[in-house]
Amino acid sequence: MMGLFITFEGVEGSGKTTQMQLLRQHLEARGCTVVLTREPGGTPIAETIRDVLLDPAHGAMAPAAELLLYEAARAQHVAELIRPALEQGKIVLCDRFADSTTAYQGTARGLDYEALDRLHRIATNGVWPHLTFVLDMAPEEGLDRARERGRFDRMEQESLEFHERVRQGFLRIAKMEPDRVTIVNAARSIEDVARHIQLRLDEYLQARSTGAAP
């Protein structure tokens, strides 16, 4: 697969969408073809699953049902959009991916990591991010930013303790996979965060050009 797959992770409101748009501009200015997408979602079927997952009326959703719906949306997204784009040599920037399932449904909800890993393998079928940026900040600050938009989805209604466990879940993944996952302090200005991301990407692309990175 010739393309480049970059994912953005972090607590709600940490600036993933903002940073993806800035990185797209940066890459397009260099002549790259960039696809921006998100999870859950990214294709019509996966967006329909997203509506079910995030509907605040669905407070009674069982954790296992939630997990399987996120993975179902991912399977469709990978098959229909991400894999074809990578095979065409494009750069795919994705707002959340399997690490979100590990952090939200694994670390925060307490579902079994081994079961999650098996489901990730089925849903992603070998498609895995080359680079991941975890935009790290205190969840209460991120939630404040997100709430300024005035909409509250089902996951946002979880307790602050839940979102703190999510944060710890992302930090755990970064510790386990330091080559792939970069922690970015997201409590800084938009420009500072963008600079950190661009520097890490340039470093990765340099390593890739010499065969030192996948």
Residue 104 touches ligand Z5A, criterion: CB under 6 A: yes
Of the listed pieces 29-37, 167-175, 187-195, 200-208, which binds ligand Z5A according to CB under 6 A?
187-195
Place of tokens 């940490």: 14
Residue 9 touches ligand Z5A, criterion: CB under 6 A: no
Angle, in degrees to the nearest 10, between helices 113-124 and 63-77: 30
Task: Choose which of 90, 96, 120, 165 interacts with ligand Z5A (CB under 6 A).
Answer: 96
Q: What angle do CA 86, 91, 93 make, to 5 degrees?
A: 110
Of the listed pieces 36-44, 57-65, 118-126, 175-183, which binds ligand Z5A according to CB under 6 A?
36-44
Residue 196 touches ligand Z5A, criterion: CB under 6 A: no
Residue 3 vs 40, nearer CB to ligand Z5A: 40
Residue 180 touches ligand Z5A, criterion: CB under 6 A: no
Contact 79, 71 (CB under 8 A): no
Q: Six-digit token pair at 137?
A: 């900040």
CB of 179 to ligand Z5A, least distance (A): 22
Query: Which residues are 132's β-sheet partners?
Result: 7, 181
Among 6, 70, 60, which residue's Cα sits nearest to residue 201?
6
Residue 14 touches ligand Z5A, criterion: CB under 6 A: yes
175 CB burial (10 A radius; 0-12, 13-18, 19+): exposed
198 CB burial (10 A radius; 0-12, 13-18, 19+): middle
Residue 64 vs 190, nearer CB to ligand Z5A: 190
Of the listed pieces 76-84, 97-105, 114-122, 175-183, which binds ligand Z5A according to CB under 6 A?
97-105
Binding residues for ligand Z5A, rule: CB under 6 A, are 12-18, 38-40, 70, 95-96, 100-101, 104-105, 145-146, 148, 153, 155-156, 189-190, 193
